[in-house]
Structure 1
Amino acid sequence: MNRPVKFLIIRFSSIGDIVLTTPVIRCLKEQYPNAEVHFVVKKKFRQVVEHNPYIDQLHLLDNNLKELVATFKNEHFDYIIDLHKTLRSYLLRFRLRRPTLTFRKLSVEKLIMNRFHVDFLPKGIHIVERNLKSVEPLGVKNDHKPVDYFISPEEEVPLSELPVLHQKGYVAFVIGGQHFTKKLPAEKIINICRTIDKPIILLGGPEDAAVAKIVAEACDEKIYDACGKYSLNQSVSLLKSARSVIAHDTGLMHISGAFNKPIVSVWGGTSAEHFGVWPYLNTRQVIAEVKGLSCHPCSNFGLSACPQKHFKCMREQDEDLIAGSAVSMFNETSLTE
């Protein structure tokens, strides 16, 4: 019997970026003979991949790279696949001294796009495709399937636990976002929610609870505030059960692609063209983005404040487009399910 070929895939963070590596994990496991797939991620993001059946062994980084190196030296990996390409991942590769495959990070091209608004990034090539190119030398091909996300049965939130109004269908509104320039102002969220004539569940973390409270108080009982009340995977369960989704550029936006959710993705300081939902050709998606701004995009990952002080990329978002698209998708999904 042939011995396993051991792979270590590195992607330490963050939620969305980890999710966008899952096609590599799946394709490698399914297409490479005797592949034994190990994956390393920061401990705080373990929920994102801990139930992934294509991962044979999950390793957690808890700010102690030296300890991780000692563990990995006993594993005798055949290949390292670095899908992060940071100083820390480079140090890990250097210490292990194993054959390494990696992807084009395009840091210079991104810097030019954000600083000078000149786009040298490859047209029509998604980050998922760039990730998959890292394993092409092994004969692994893009299977053109969605990203993966798996949760345990214990993490599924039964619809019967929701308010009665929401048990027959709802719009999931992901109001969170890691940075200010990725998020709609509270008054815009309120206006959109008031326009939607369907039940709505607000999704986000504890850091979004204050805004969620303001939105819920400004609207009626059609709002169910779930921000900070559920774990990440329980929130994913609620996303999975939604008829349609509205989301900022955040982890749950990318996770929606795993379930082929019809989605209105709302873009502020970051760009939908290169970092949108995958598979963007198969998912019903409306991209809400203010066109014609000379300052857009201003960053890859979002900023704590608008560099131009006007925040037009979010303040001028078309509320009727966002609300109307979400309702239209809701009605279409209701008819087909």
Structure 2
Amino acid sequence: MNPKVRVLIIRFSSIGDIVLTTPVIRCVKQQLNEGNNEVHLITKEQFKPIVKTNPYLDEVIYIEKKVSEVAEKLQNEGYDYIFDLHNNLRSAQVKRLIGTLAFTFKKHNIEKWLYVNFKINLMPKKHIVDRYMDTTKAFGIENDNKGLDYFIPKDEFLDKSSLSEPFSKQYVAIAIGGQHVGKVMPATKIIEICNALPLPVILLGGPEDYETGKLIEQGSDHEVKNTCGELSLNESASLVNQAEVVISHDTGLMHIAAAFKKPVISIWGATVPEFGMYPYMPGKGSKIIEPKDYRDRPYSKLGDRKWYKPPFKGMEKIDVNEVKQAVEEALDLTKTTEPGA
């Protein structure tokens, strides 16, 4: 048998990006050196809930802010190879410290800049998961096409049966947050969507989304429950896992929903699916919805406001009827594929 190989995978942030690395983690663990390996990951401490129970990781190294916090450990681990899935100054520091052979993900920042500023699309027609997988090509590792992974610890799983009715039964989950304003629909638009849906709605998001969630809950004529800021990430993931359909902006919960093979109705604004970060192998009935007749897209690389441009208004052009129809079609498809249907 070949001697054991030890590798380090680098991805520091964010929620969605780390979830998108899980096919690489799984395939490396199962295929590299015929499985005779140790796979380590370095990431930020704040993302521990995402990776701490991943069975394909032998060890996770966490940092608060600086690589120097774990420099000695990194130098003493004896890594044979590095897969850099972040490609930034911090990951370059890790590679310099360890000094072993590294395979680095290409970000295509020039192509993104051209697309944002001149609407010239030279982006590879390839999902970012497959671009991550390209770093492993030299080892003959292949994508197993099983999609994304997300593992919720048993003691952190929130069963929907603990919720009050009607939310303890069937519901649509809406992830109302987003890292940047250009990715997020206004509350008035989400209220319209809630009112149009055939099932009760659970709103998901962080503490920063609480007030918006409260506004939506109080402003809707529909059965809506605001959980923003009240749940841990894994509790929110639990409710995503039990939802009939998930509506989400371009954000972390969208990728978690895809990991659970849920029908994902993804709403796009300042960013575009062509950047390669659309839902990866989600459930049947998933659909991408974008603003109609809005020329300035992509508005920015991350969805943030640009001082030299007018504010992004594309989210106001999301068609509520299109969202409603997509949800209804996904629900119908779910019914026809249920066992015994």
Cα separation, partners in 2 of 1:208 and 1:308, compared to 1, 3 Å: same
Picking from 109, 122, 139, the partner of 1:107 is 109
Supply the distance in 2 between the matched residues of 1:193 and 1:30 (Cα, whole angstroms): 43
Contact 2:300 2:306 in 1 (8 A): no
| Displacement after TM superposition at 1:61 (Å) | 1.1
AA matched with 1:73 = Q
| Displacement after TM superposition at 1:65 (Å) | 1.5
Contact 1:171 1:200 in 2 (8 A): yes
| Displacement after TM superposition at 1:219 (Å) | 1.7
Picking from 272, 279, 284, the partner of 1:277 is 279
| Displacement after TM superposition at 1:122 (Å) | 1.2
Supply the distance in 2 between the matched residues of 1:128 and 1:167 (Cα, whole angstroms): 34
The answer to whether the aligner puts 1:3 opposite 2:27 as a matched pair is no
Question: Could you say which residue in structure 2 is the equivalent of 1:187?
Answer: 188
Supply the distance in 1 between the matched residues of 2:291 and 2:165 (Cα, whole angstroms): 36
SS in 1 for 2:280: coil
Contact 1:239 1:245 in 2 (8 A): yes
| Displacement after TM superposition at 1:46 (Å) | 1.1
| Displacement after TM superposition at 1:70 (Å) | 0.7
Question: Could you say which residue in structure 2 is the equivalent of 1:122?
Answer: 124
Supply the distance in 2 between the matched residues of 1:91 and 1:64 (Cα, whole angstroms): 10
Supply the distance in 1 between the matched residues of 2:133 and 2:160 (Cα, whole angstroms): 36
Contact 1:171 1:330 in 2 (8 A): no
Supply the distance in 1 between the matched residues of 2:322 and 2:313 (Cα, whole angstroms): 16
Contact 2:206 2:228 in 1 (8 A): yes
Question: Could you say which residue in structure 1 is the equivalent of 2:79?
Answer: 77
SS in 2 for 1:276: coil
Supply the distance in 2 between the matched residues of 1:195 and 1:220 (Cα, whole angstroms): 10
Supply the distance in 2 between the matched residues of 1:172 and 1:308 (Cα, whole angstroms): 33
Supply the distance in 2 between the matched residues of 1:170 and 1:30 (Cα, whole angstroms): 36
AA matched with 1:80 = I
Question: Could you say which residue in structure 2 is the equivalent of 1:155?
Answer: 156
| Displacement after TM superposition at 1:333 (Å) | 2.2
Contact 1:270 1:298 in 2 (8 A): yes
AA matched with 2:183 = K
Question: Could you say which residue in structure 2 is the equivalent of 1:263?
Answer: 264
Question: Could you say which residue in structure 2 is the equivalent of 1:218?
Answer: 219
Greater CA deviation, 82-91 or 317-326?
317-326
Normalised by the size of structure 2, how large is the TM-score? 0.94
Supply the distance in 2 between the matched residues of 1:222 and 1:12 (Cα, whole angstroms): 38
Contact 2:241 2:262 in 1 (8 A): yes
Contact 1:13 1:42 in 2 (8 A): yes
Cα separation, partners in 2 of 1:162 and 1:327, compared to 1, 3 Å: farther
Cα separation, partners in 2 of 1:320 and 1:221, compared to 1, 3 Å: closer
Cα separation, partners in 2 of 1:306 and 1:145, compared to 1, 3 Å: farther
| Displacement after TM superposition at 1:323 (Å) | 2.1
CA-based RMSD of the aligned residues comes to 1.6
SS in 2 for 1:7: strand
The answer to whether the aligner puts 1:97 opposite 2:102 as a matched pair is no
Greater CA deviation, 163-172 or 296-305?
296-305
Cα separation, partners in 2 of 1:189 and 1:221, compared to 1, 3 Å: closer
Cα separation, partners in 2 of 1:308 and 1:323, compared to 1, 3 Å: farther
Question: Could you say which residue in structure 2 is the equivalent of 1:330?
Answer: 331
SS in 2 for 1:115: helix
SS in 2 for 1:135: helix
Contact 1:7 1:79 in 2 (8 A): yes
Supply the distance in 1 between the matched residues of 2:278 and 2:61 (Cα, whole angstroms): 28
Supply the distance in 1 between the matched residues of 2:318 and 2:306 (Cα, whole angstroms): 17
Supply the distance in 2 between the matched residues of 1:276 and 1:313 (Cα, whole angstroms): 18
| Displacement after TM superposition at 1:276 (Å) | 0.3
Structure 1: unaligned runs, 5 residues or longer: none
SS in 2 for 1:287: strand
User: What whole-Å deviation, never above 9, does each CA across 1:264-306 have from its counterpart, x for those lacking one?
Assistant: 10000001132200026x6532111024433100122211469
| Displacement after TM superposition at 1:159 (Å) | 1.9
Supply the distance in 2 between the matched residues of 1:99 and 1:73 (Cα, whole angstroms): 14
Q: Number of matched residues?
A: 335
SS in 2 for 1:91: helix
Contact 2:195 2:222 in 1 (8 A): no
Contact 1:180 1:305 in 2 (8 A): no
Question: Could you say which residue in structure 2 is the equivalent of 1:298?
Answer: 299
SS in 2 for 1:275: coil
Contact 1:257 1:283 in 2 (8 A): no
AA matched with 1:44 = Q
Picking from 43, 47, 50, the partner of 1:48 is 50
| Displacement after TM superposition at 1:146 (Å) | 0.8
AA matched with 2:12 = F
AA matched with 1:113 = Y
Contact 1:243 1:334 in 2 (8 A): no
User: What whole-Å deviation, never above 9, does each CA across 1:241-279 have from its counterpart, x for those lacking one?
Assistant: 000010000000011111111011000000113220002
Structure 2: unaligned runs, 5 residues or longer: none
